[in-house]
Amino acid sequence: MAVHAHPDDESSKGAATTAKYVAEGHRVLVVSCTGGERGDVLNPALKDNPHITRDLAQVRRDEMARAQAILGCEHTWLGFVDSGLPEGDPRPPLPAGCFALEELDAPVEALVREIRRFRPHVLTTYDENGGYPHPDHIMTNRVSVEAFLAAGDPERYPHAGEPWQPLKMYYNAGFHRERLQTYHRALLDRGMESPFADWLARWEDRTDRRITTRVPASEYFDVRDDALRAHATQVDPGGSFFAVTNDIQAEVWPTDDFELAMSYVPTDDSEDDLFAGIDPQRADELATGRPTLLRDDRVEPTVKDWR
């Protein structure tokens, strides 16, 4: 189960791994916490399209359906309203009724219900800072962590289905300094222009994340990019997402990267598989019991809550 804030996040974060596991016969469910209703139109070719500006919410749903078909995954909407990304100094308040202002109980119960229905062994989401400090990404982390811990507890949300404990929880770690530095050098070494110099300059005050898991997924980079392009309002086809060709990526950085946050099974920091350490013969028995949390590497957020 991959829990994301908005439609398009599932295609820009861990999408090659999604396509890989689907191709290998695993079921993968993408959960979109919001509908992306307040997202900007980032594709210059579509900014003034009246159909899009008139009903962006439906456009985002149609784009998500196309991306889902390309990735081959399952999908569900958690049903909360996009918070947008207020900008300014001081920054304006978030809009009433948005996802980031919800009390935790409602979205946690909604996600627990999906976990108990779908019964995943692995859950992925964003780190405690949201991956980047969008209010919905930060909220997605908070909701995902609480739902992961609650789903196996029969005393929590007893009306949300039979208890089921996912065995591992990961944070997406696609955008980290080492990877961007590698891309930057690869482009310059080939005499090409790099869009990553400014990104790397802004990284000076950020702490490097701990990468525990590198999933070989270069075979599915084209599928990932096709899914991302399906979100036509949200991606500039000439933008930095596509600055490094997939053949170069396959050569210099052929993996999707993740950070293991919690685990109920023994593991280490050199995984190449999100299912590492999970015995398929005992996984369901463990998930329906009351396993002991063996690893908890969560840390306090450095980004302030938007509330």
User: Binding site: which residues?
Assistant: 6, 9, 137
Instruction: Taking residues 148-176, report their average pLDDT.
Output: 97
Provide, rounded to the nearest whole percent, the portion of the chain with pLDDT above 90: 85
pLDDT of residue 209: 86
pLDDT of residue 175: 85
Q: How confident is the model at residue 205 (pLDDT cuts 50, 70, 90)?
A: low
pLDDT of residue 207: 73
pLDDT of residue 202: 82
Q: How confident is the model at residue 92 (pLDDT cuts 50, 70, 90)?
A: confident
Query: What does the block give as tokens for 285?
Result: 């028995």
Instruction: Taking residues 23-40, report their average pLDDT.
Output: 96
Residues 47 and 72 sit within 8 Å (Cβ to Cβ): no
Each residue's pLDDT tens digit, 284-304: 999 999 999 999 999 999 887
Distance set, CA 307 to CA 108, 146, 182, 205 (Å): 17, 18, 36, 24
pLDDT of residue 214: 98
- Among 207, 220, 210, which residue's Cα sits nearest to residue 255? 220
pLDDT of residue 250: 98
Query: What does the block give as tokens for 39?
Result: 């997202």
Query: What does the block give as tokens for 268?
Result: 């280490």
* Of 83-87, 209-213, 273-277, 289-293, minimum mean pLDDT range: 83-87
Could you please state the CATH topology (level 3) that the domain comprising 2-174+209-296 is classified under: Rossmann fold (3.40.50)
Query: What does the block give as tokens for 21?
Result: 């596991």
pLDDT of residue 19: 98
pTM listed for this prediction: 0.96
Report the alpha-carbon distance of residue 273 to residue 239 in Å, rounded: 30
What is the overall mean pLDDT for the chain?
95
User: Binding site for Zn(2+): which residues?
Assistant: 6, 9, 137
Does residue 62 have a pLDDT over 90? yes
Amino acid at residue number 226: D
Does residue 278 have a pLDDT over 70? yes
Query: Number of helices and strands (H, E) in the chain?
Result: 11, 8
- List the domain boundaries for the chain: 2-174+209-296
pLDDT of residue 20: 98
Instruction: Taking residues 173-182, report their average pLDDT.
Output: 92
Q: How confident is the model at residue 232 (pLDDT cuts 50, 70, 90)?
A: very high
Each residue's pLDDT tens digit, 94-151: 999 999 999 999 999 999 999 999 999 999 999 999 998 899 999 999 999 999 999 9
